[in-house]
Amino acid sequence: IKGNSMICKRYNIIIPFLLLCFITSSLSSNDENSNDVNLSNLRGIKPSIVFKKTKHENKRNILNVHVVPHTHDDVGWLKTVDQYYHGWNNTIYQVAVKDILNTIIISLQQNRKRTFTYVEMAFFTKWYYDPTTSSETRQVVKELIQNDQLSFANGGWCMHDEATTHYMGMIDQTSLGHLFLKEEFGYVPKVGWQLDPFGHSYLQGTMMTHGMGFDSLFFGRIDYQDLEKRKLESSVEGFWSSADDTFNKETSKVFWGLTGSYGGNYGAPDGFCFDVLCDDPLLTEMGEATLIERVKKFLESVKEQSDITIGSNVMVTMGSDFQYQMAHTNYENLDLLLDSIENFRDSGAINMTSIFGPRFDDIDIFYSTPEKYTKYKHHEFLQMSADATMSGMNGITSFDDASTAESPLSSSPWSTKTDDFFPYSDNAHSFWTGYFTSRSSLKRLERVGSSFLHAARQIEAFLSREGGGGDILSKYKGHNGQQHTSPLRLLDEGVAIAQHHDGVSGTSKQHVAYDYAKRIHAGMNDAETYVTTLLKNVFISSRSIYGGGDKSVFESEVVLENLSYCQLLNETICHVSQDASKDDENDIFVVVYNSLALNRREVVAIPVSRDAEYNVDVLVTATEESEALDWKPVSSVLIPTTNYADIASAAEYALYFNASVLPPVGAAVFRIKIVKTEQKRSTLETSATRKDYYGINYLKVSPRPVTAVNNIEEYDEGTFIVSNGVLEIFFDKSTGVARQLSNPQVGGQRLPILQEWGYYKSYDKAGEQKSGAYIFRPKESNEEPTMISPMSGKSVVFHSDLVTEVHTVYEEHWIKQITRVKSGEPYIEVEYTVGPVPIADGIGKEVITRFHTEIKNNGLFYTDSNGRDFMQRKRSYRPSWNLEEFEFVAGNYYPVNAAIYIEDEKSSLCILVDRSQGGSSIKDGTVELMVQRRTLFDDWRGVGEAMNETVDGITSYDPSEDEPARRLGQGVIITGIHRISVGSGRDGASKARAQMDKVFFPPHIFVASSKSEIFIPFRAPSYSAVKKALPDNIQLITFTKLPSEKYETYLIRLGHQYGYGEDQYLSAPVKVDMNNLLLGFDVVSVVEKTLSGNQDWEKWQEQRLRWENDHTEITSEWTTSLTSGNSVILNPLEIRTFEVQAILIEDDVTASS
């Protein structure tokens, strides 16, 4: 139980009168001898759904009590996934998930009435395909699913986090689980089940619920102040809907509710946990008198729950972390509980009216599921709405406008929420805002893995038919032990597991964090081998060199055989280019892959080993009339690296070149030739000399045609200006810190800006709440951070027409940064190196960077919701309740997954991040981001370790010993990048949108080498998978191949990149022709699917539970999202998923130059 002392893991409308008549008719038309009420004709209710009458039907007011057995199985936390599954490392936690699933299946077979809800497909598939799981057991599973005894909620690979995840990862991991359930069982989950995440995002409540085809969403944790208010107002359930996308505001509404008897968790009522992990008394061991008293106690708990619930249905969750390892014990006691309630009522031993009256005359208690509970609530909604119509509701006949974050609907008993549930605190001094930043390196690795997976799927989808790529059609095969053999599967699962709410959140034990990282890295290695093979096949001639038949050897197999994906460019490491650049006789070939469906220009950096003269060329078609290939020079510059992170294998130099010809969803080829000379470039000095004094190093751009426009000029005695054709940046000569930014393209207004570094001191008072993996608590609630000044006279500038770097070091030598200005880009790039964060003073530190401006934001700032919608934040304010503030700093931190911005009528400042971080605007005119944390104490939320990462790890921990686990080595060093953009007034969202995709989907760099005299038989200068680039405001979110016998079949997700009103032009709806997305194909059919692709959208619309007023008119200047022929319309921030079938019209992959 999460947070309890036991294990200490963080528990702590109007419906028209005609419809009313129809309902009445439907009810009265049933056979009067029937025990069931058939509501098959009601909208949103499947024909097979019936609502059971009880034998107390003559009693007018019956409370339905839904008992929902479930387990919450963390996909890693205190133990790794494998340790949890097999029951290894039980000195940490005594659990084996395989035992949970084995005993549940047996127990469900023993009683047809029993039900169970399972969530995490990472575990379920592992068990289902386990060689020890017999074919007979698999058949039983299918029968239990058919019998509605075994159900699945969420159905994703894990229960993902909602603060530190990006929508790409959330969609991918959910789809992975949904596709398994669909392929193996024909099962489609209908309910979202986010019990344990530490706050809940707007995206989760909208797109990730409605878009996934869910009718409802249930969760356990909300802020303690919000919870108390909701209990008083009986608003522990309600609706969640989008805030301003008026074209689908009503139709996207879903039902939400709290679990765990509304106690802020998801377990059983206090005293009624019958699991072997619990100490509560078992009913099966009691005599009748004691049993009667215990049953009364349980009913009183249900009564308390019903008192704060609107309607006549309550859900009692019976289960928690890793429960039901001995499921027969749980079910024997649950059976006895349910039977005893009925028997004691019938015998008169318990008087239901005395407990539940006057509101209810009796109860009906039964095994249930979240899906069944949702259907009962929907039926209740219809009845209440009909009753409201009959009573007139004071003459109100339409929905009220949702002008606040939570607005009551005139004909609905429940209010509608349009904001989110961040930040979350479980008491006055415990804000769960530290994990927004915890384990910064893991957060970055997750993004790298997710981005590479996105590109690898595209390459697999388009190029796998060229051969040598493995059998994609086996991707979801699960028979006879031949499970999941796609070369991308390991990466798919590794990234999916990392989305877990104790994964990318950074809240697991250290050895588990290593396991998450290992899985992503192993998956990338597998995918790299596969993807490089496919790329070679498309670019290199497939002619046979020698041999014949099965023994043929092709050119693509023997040239550029060392083509590799450069995974460590963030550390200035690419072994192929570093090794090749040591010898003048080598050429280096670079394949730059662009996963965006847009034409793209980027400045690319390749690590090289020595100071030499390098010429860079791009492969092109020689002339328009000829198919012959030629090399065309591009501008480049060599810049020494500083290796601030002290990485042993880092290159001494980085070669930047202008990759200005990157086709959409495609790649271009570049060649780096080393000029044969023994003389070093006179314009470069040694790294040691440069670091010792201030000066501007003017670097010579490669003597080729130059299109770059970086300029540098003296402004005054203490300032110099760097301009790149888009921005002008004013730098302090002595420190190298930027002082002003100006964008001449929007009027040239200068925005004064001051960047600072500093840290909050972690709270450490004995016996009180401390900062840790989850909790951020500074020493003082309104603490001013300790600021660290830049050192004067130590800045170094490397200037060229292509790239300019300004290096700054700080008085605390564990903070260093490079401000990088690239030609033609509308942003500056701040690359920071932080660590090891010192703790010799015994004080934990929460490291921040803060940007000061003159923007008058009046306490307002904006953060993204999982990389999609921007949420307006207001300092010291909550939209849903009147905040009583105890922790000013920590309570004003919010998750930043992609960008944060402030703005006023004159200016805007936007900062984009390369991983999830915590952020805020603590003072007007400022934006701050927490980039690293190093604390010295556990925060008592169950992980049992301080957030104190070190380079050599941690000793093993034995709970039987007094000595806790010890950290080994010095603290870690992290590097990261912030992109800073400035704009005119009310322009923050637009500036952010223009860069968000480029940050998440950087160019992917593949490098090979060859001796200069060897001819490389390239057959195409570049490759693009699409006929035409998408519009600038449309994203190609997913492009993956699906198994199909007749046609080439693809799953395509498209997303509108801009929100309503964010840009004058780019916020408009867009029409996209699917024919433009498949070069070399004719599109046969386009079928829209739900977000995970597991059901037809049209079919789901017919079957889904509708919570909106039938007579609500959706008024909008936009049409609803239509599919006309092979064209689709996307409205602002809409994501749509399609299954597209096409016929190949060309024998070979078509490459475009």
Q: Is 729 helix (H, G, I), strand (E, B) or coil?
A: strand
Report how far residue 24's alpha carbon sits from residue 1058's, in angstroms, rounded to the nearest whole number. 46
pLDDT for 1080 beyond 50: yes
Nearest to 503 by CA among 491, 489, 513: 513
Give CA 883 to chain center in angstroms: 28
Of the listed ranges 44-48, 272-276, 660-664, 1033-1037, the least confidently predicted one is 44-48
Q: How many helices (H) and strands (E) does the chain have?
A: 20, 55
Output the pLDDT for position 1046: 86
pLDDT for 747 beyond 90: no
Nearest to 330 by CA among 267, 261, 372: 267
Report how far residue 98's alpha carbon sits from residue 982's, in angstroms, rounded to the nearest whole number. 54
534-553 tens-digit pLDDT? 999 999 976 644 444 444 44
Nearest to 841 by CA among 934, 964, 757: 934
442-487 tens-digit pLDDT? 999 999 999 999 999 999 998 876 443 344 334 434 333 445 568 9
Output the pLDDT for position 70: 98
Higher pLDDT, 392 or 1002: 1002
Question: What H or E segment, with its residue span, contains residue 994?
Answer: helix 988-1000
Report how far residue 935's alpha carbon sits from residue 777's, in angstroms, rounded to the nearest whole number. 10
Output the pLDDT for position 305: 97
Q: What string of DSSP letters covers 1040-1087?
A: EEE--SSSEEEEEEEEE-S-TTSSTTTTS-EEEEGGGG-TTEEEEEEE
Residue 454's Cβ-side half-sphere holds a number of Cα atoms within 13 Å equal to 31
Spatial neighbors of 451 by CB under 8 A, at least 6 apart, are: 168, 595, 1000, 1001, 1002, 1004
Report how far residue 66's alpha carbon sits from residue 525's, in angstroms, rounded to the nearest whole number. 47
What percent of the chain shows pLDDT beyond 70?
83
For residue 391, name the pLDDT band (cuts at 50, 70, 90).
low
For residue 707, name the pLDDT band (cuts at 50, 70, 90).
very low
**Strand bridging mode 815-822 / 803-809:** antiparallel
Report how far residue 744's alpha carbon sits from residue 971's, in angstroms, rounded to the nearest whole number. 43
**Can you tell me the mean pLDDT for 82-88?**
98
| Residues forming a β-bridge with 810 | 790
Cβ distance 1069 to 1129 under 8 Å?
yes
pLDDT for 873 beyond 50: yes
Output the pLDDT for position 883: 97
Cβ distance 1124 to 413 under 8 Å?
no
Output the pLDDT for position 690: 32
Output the pLDDT for position 715: 74
* 673: its two tokens: 């030739």
Phi, psi (rounded to 5 degrees) for 62: -115, 130
**Can you tell me the mean pLDDT for 857-880?**
97
Output the pLDDT for position 953: 87
| Residues forming a β-bridge with 152 | 118
Cβ distance 506 to 438 under 8 Å?
yes
Output the pLDDT for position 702: 52
Cβ distance 578 to 609 under 8 Å?
yes
Cβ distance 1112 to 1060 under 8 Å?
no
336-354 tens-digit pLDDT? 999 999 999 999 999 999 9
Q: What string of DSSP letters covers 570-585?
A: GGT--HHHHHHTT-TT
Q: For residue 323, what is the DSSP state?
A: -
* 375: its two tokens: 């259907």
pLDDT for 54 beyond 70: no
Output the pLDDT for position 701: 53
Nearest to 420 by CA among 903, 1059, 870, 901: 870
Residue owning tokens 């024998």: 1147
For residue 406, name the pLDDT band (cuts at 50, 70, 90).
low
Sign of the dihedral defined by the CA atoms of residues 371, 373, 374, 378, in that order: positive
What percent of the chain shows pLDDT beyond 90?
76
133-182 tens-digit pLDDT? 999 999 999 999 999 999 999 999 999 999 999 999 999 999 999 999 99
| Residues forming a β-bridge with 752 | 740
Output the pLDDT for position 464: 78
Round the CA-based radius of gyration of the chain to a whole number and report it: 31
Output the pLDDT for position 252: 78
Higher pLDDT, 206 or 747: 206
Q: Measured between alpha carbons, how far apart are the two ends of the chain, in Å?
A: 59
Q: For residue 778, what is the DSSP state?
A: B
Spatial neighbors of 624 by CB under 8 A, at least 6 apart, are: none
Cβ distance 239 to 1118 under 8 Å?
no
pLDDT for 1149 beyond 90: no
Higher pLDDT, 553 or 513: 513
Give the chain's mean pLDDT: 87
Output the pLDDT for position 960: 58
pLDDT for 393 beyond 80: no
**Can you tell me the mean pLDDT for 1123-1147?**
88
Cβ distance 1147 to 461 under 8 Å?
no
* 135: its two tokens: 């074919």
Residue 991's Cβ-side half-sphere holds a number of Cα atoms within 13 Å equal to 28
CA angle 128, 133, 135 (to 5 degrees): 90
Report how far residue 130's alpha carbon sits from residue 82's, in angstroms, rounded to the nearest whole number. 12
Q: What string of DSSP letters covers 324-371?
A: -TTHHHHHHHHHHHHHHHHHHHHHTSS-HHHHHTTT-SEEEEEE--HH
Spatial neighbors of 997 by CB under 8 A, at least 6 apart, are: 596, 1035, 1057
